[in-house]
Structure 1
Amino acid sequence: MSSLRNYGIAAPHGPNMDGHHVATEQLYAMSQNEQGVFQTILKPDDSYDENGTYWADLPIMQRIKFVNKVNNAETKKELSATWAMIKRDPLSPIGYYFRNMVIPGAGLLLEGYVLFSIGNVKPLLQAAFPRCWKSHKICNSTWIAALDYLEIVGIIVGQILVGIIGDWLGRRWGLIQDATIMFIGLLMLTASWGVT
């Protein structure tokens, strides 16, 4: 019996040129070892119980028991890692906390502040320069509206660039580049309040 798969790629072994394999066989059949590897990847212990049931599909009491078991295991792991850091250097948990929690949080805070402040700049500019920003006597209203549009365009372009940089160089450098650009923009935004 001939099959269309005899003439195509038919992964993983290619076209059936010599007749040694059956083109209609189950190509996804795995050995026990392969299946064991994929089960640990596809069904991690912190999401699936020992029977392979997803934690959210468990009955409520078993779900609570499972979540508590996973939380207790993670807490034990984190506390033992923290204790090991304290034994090496008593101040190392503080440095770890600042490197991994405070600085990334400050980056998110900076980004939120810039977006919030751009939205608040427009009423202030209307109050400070009413002939331009309110009545549009000396400024084009299209250019005034461009402030809002450029914010959205900047967000889109920035997300694309951070994604590309994150894929090529790693997420850390993408976030550093993002925070640097946001900080420079924040400096320019702050400097715009100057009178000279």
Structure 2
Amino acid sequence: MEVNKENSALIIVDVQNDFLPGGALAVGKGDEVIPVINKVKDKFDLIVATQDWHPANHGSFAANHEGKKVGESISLNGLDQILWPVHCVENSIGADFHKSLDKQNWREVFKKGSNPVVDSYSGFFDNGRKEKTGLGDFLKANGIENVFVTGLAADYCVKFTVLDALDLGFNTYLIADATKGVNLSPNDTLEAFKEMETQGAILVSSSSL
């Protein structure tokens, strides 16, 4: 398919050290998305990224709840919350974008997850959908109609970014070979792909762009 540069944007979700092999919340083979993203970015004039940016006292960290373990669920500010390892703490090396990721010509970076009492998987909103990151308004102000989503992780932050993009009225494409999942359960990524397609996302491969 031909990308219309005038009304299309590439969204790079959370390709940060803590989500890559060796990181605190590593996605299996997550580093394999980097060369794919670097290759497709030249198809776009408008490129944005999201960045997990947590305070050390974030409520989604198991370490901040006595007696709780990673993978357990709690209620956080009225929302169901999976507890994660400490990751992507603001101003840490783990929160940095991977050095192999080509950041040339990025227009904006939208930080998320800074509020300690609510997590933020989506690049557009927190999980309670009460606070906006500004990404949606930025894309609309720049005349964007089509968004192409890449990054980590397919079954969490990428999925919720895709679903919110659809909800906001964008024609939404997932570059399927430019994302990998956490897979707390073995089929989580496959189920996420199905859910995104069911809601209206179009799955494409990088080679088709």
TM-score range, shorter chain: under 0.3
The TM-score, its normalising length taken from structure 2, stands at: 0.18
Point out the structure with the larger helix share: 1
| Higher relative contact order (Cα pairs below 8 Å, separated by 6+ residues) | 2
